[in-house]
Structure 1
C-alpha cells in the first residue's frame, strides 16, 4: 500500500483497531519522504543533525518554523506540479505563507477535513452556512476550500448581511453557522440589534481573530451576542483553530473548552529558549505534527502560545511577541 493510502486509512473515521500503522510509524515514514524530496526542509534537518537515520521518535522530527512558509517553497514536488496553493492572511506584514498542494496532498486534505469535522460534530451535522467568501472569490483561502469541501452554502458579498438576514428568517431546521470573528462582528453591527432566533439544535462556529477588519471584542462578548441575537447557548458555540500551514483543525466548545485534535494531529508545548518540552503547567510555544501535511512538512513550530488543559487538549494563549524560535537557521540560509 502506498504511503498516501496508508495515511488516508489512518485518517478516515475507522475504529482504532482498523487503522493499521501507528501515528509514530506513519510520522517517521512521512518524515523520510519529506526529507528526501523537500530540499529547504532537508537543509534544516541537516543543520540540526536530525535525519531519518537518527530520528526514532515522532517527537524528534524537526519542526520547521511557520515563518519558513513565507520565505521558501516547502514542497515535495515542483511548484509547477502543484494544483493548489493556499496563502495566509498576512497579519504580520506584506509577506504571506504559501502552502503548496500536490494532487495527492489535496485529496488527503479533503479526507482530513471531512473526517475531522465529522469527529467534532457527528457524521450528519446540521446544514452548514458560511460567512466566508467562496473559493471562486478567494481561491487561495484554505478556510474557503475547507468549507466548500464540507458542502457549505456561502453567504458573502456586498449584500451578505441582507442575504444572511433573509436566510436566518426563513430557517425551519437546525443549522451550523460558520464565520470568522470579524465577519460575525460586522454582521451584528450591520443588523443593528435585530434578533434571529435559530431553530433548536443549531450551532455556531467562529475562527477567532480580527486582523484589523472590524472592531475587536472579547470572546465572552462575542458569545454573549450569539446567545442574545441568535438564541444559541454558549454550550452550542464552538471555536475552530487552524493555520494555512496545517491541513487539520482543532475545535473547542464554549468559552473555556480546550482545543481538541483528531488522532492524526499531535501537539507539543515547547520552551521558547531551550526548544524542549515546557514544564507541565507552564505555557509554551505550540508545535504541531500533522499527518495530513503530505506535500510540505508534517512538523510545524508556531509562534502561538498555549498551556495544557487537564481535560485534554490545550488552551490557546495567543501570539508570543518577540519569541526567538529555534530553527531560524533555515531563515538565515
Structure 2
C-alpha cells in the first residue's frame, strides 16, 4: 500500500484509505478479506447495537475467516438505531436517508476518519467509474452542501468540487445551459431532469465531451419516466450521446457508489466493495442468474457497519449487478434477520 494520509487517522482507516487509492489492475495481492475481518472486529467491539445482532447469530470475530460470513445489518435498522463506533461528541456528520419525515429517515453517523474514507471513496470511485468526467466542471441539480448538511448526495457533489448548484432554479439552469461553451458534467436526480424538461420546450446542445449523470429518484413522485425514454431526452434535449450518460447508484447508509453507462443496466462498483445476492427464502446466496436481496460489504463504511443488507433485489453478474426492483415485505421478512427481530432483541 502507498500514499500519504493524515497521521492522526486510525491505523486501520489509513490502511483502508491506501487500499482505496491503489490501482487494482497493477496489484497481485487482494487484501480485501484481511481488511474486512479487521474492520468487522473493530465494529463488533465498538458498535453495541451491531454486537448484539452478531451475538444473536452466534458470530464473533474469532468464529469467521471470510468476509462473506460477516453479519449484515438491514438498512431499515439505520432508522431505529444509532449504528456508530464513535461516541456522540466525536461524530462530525450525520447523513439522512430519504423519508417523508425525519422519523422515517435513516441516519448514518460519521466520525472524522469515516468522513475522510467516505470522501476518498467517492472521489476515487467517481474517477474510475466515469473517467470521461475527470477534470470537467460539475453542475449539480441539487441543494448545495451548506443548504442540505444531512444530504450525502449534496456532500458528495461538494467534495467533488461542483462549480454550481441548482435547486428549484430551472429557468436559471436553462439559461446557463444555452450559454455554456465548454464540456460540463450535469449531475442530478432523474426527477430533477424530468422537471427541467417539463418546465421548458427548449433543446440545448451541450459542448462535445459533456457528461450526464442521473441518480434515479422517482420514489414517491407523481411522474415517472422509463430509463430508455429519459436517456432519449438526454440525447434529444441536451445533445449528449446516450453512451455519455451514466446512472449512479448509492444510498446514505453506504459510503461508496456504483455506476452504469448508457442503457447497460449493470451497476459496477469499486474494488473496496463486494456484493452478494441473498436468496430471501433460504438465507443463502442466490443461485447464478437468480435474483436475490443485495448485500454490500463496503470497507469505506468505517464508523457504522461495513455489511449492509439493502431492500433492493438484483442479479449478480461477472463484474456487477442488475437491479430488479424493491424487495416485497415477504422477501424482507424471509431473509435472515429482520429489523423487527433486531428491535425485539434490543
1:35–1:42 contact (8 Å) kept in structure 2:
yes
With the length of structure 2 as denominator, give the TM-score of the two structures.
0.91
Is 1:318 paired with 2:321?
no
Does the CA contact (< 8 Å) of 1:91 and 1:211 recur in 2? no
Q: Does residue 148 of the first structure (1) align with residue 158 of the second (2)? A: yes
Counterpart residue number, 1:138:
148
Deviation at 1:120, TM superposition (A): 1.2
1:238 aligns with 2:246: yes
Q: Could you tell me whether the CA contact under 8 Å between 1:10 and 1:21 is conserved in 2?
A: no
Q: What corresponds to 2:259 in structure 1?
A: 251
Q: How far apart are the structure 1 equivalents of 2:218 and 2:249? A: 14
Distance 2:100 2:190 in 1: 15
Q: Which string of whole-angstrom CA distances, capped at 9 and with x for unpartnered residues, describes residues 68-107 of structure 1?
A: 1011000001123200000001169951100000011111
1:164 to 151, 170, 173: 173
Partner of 1:39: 48
1:72 maps to what in 2? Answer: 81
Kindly state the Cα deviation for residue 5 of structure 1 after the two structures are TM-superposed. 0.6
Deviation of 1:221 (Å): 1.1
Checking the alignment, whether the CA contact within 8 Å between 1:234 and 1:255 is kept in structure 2 is yes
Residue from 281, 300, 303 that aligns with 1:273: 281
Q: What is the deviation of 1:16?
A: 5.2
> SS of the counterpart of 2:45?
helix
2:5 match: none
Pair 1:63 & 2:72 matched: yes
Taking the aligned partners of 2:22 and 2:181, their CA distance within structure 1 comes to 30
- Relative to structure 1, the CA distance from residue 92 to residue 268 in structure 2 (aligned partners, 3 Å threshold; closer, same or farther) is farther
RMSD: 1.8
Given the alignment, which residue of 20, 35, 38 partners 1:29? 38
CA distance in 1, matches of 2:164, 2:40: 37
Q: Is the 8 A contact 2:96 2:252 kept in 1?
A: yes
Q: CA deviation at 1:34?
A: 0.3
Unaligned runs of 5+ in 1: none
Following TM superposition, by how much is the alpha carbon of 1:21 offset from its aligned partner in structure 2, in angstroms? 6.2
Alignment of 1:161-200 (within 5 A): 161-191=170-200, 193-200=201-208
Match of 1:51 in 2: 60
1:223 alignment partner in structure 2: 231
Q: TM-score, normalised by structure 1?
A: 0.94
Cα distance in 2 for residues equivalent to 1:185 and 1:94? 28
Deviating runs (4+, > 4 A) in structure 1? Answer: 15-21, 91-94
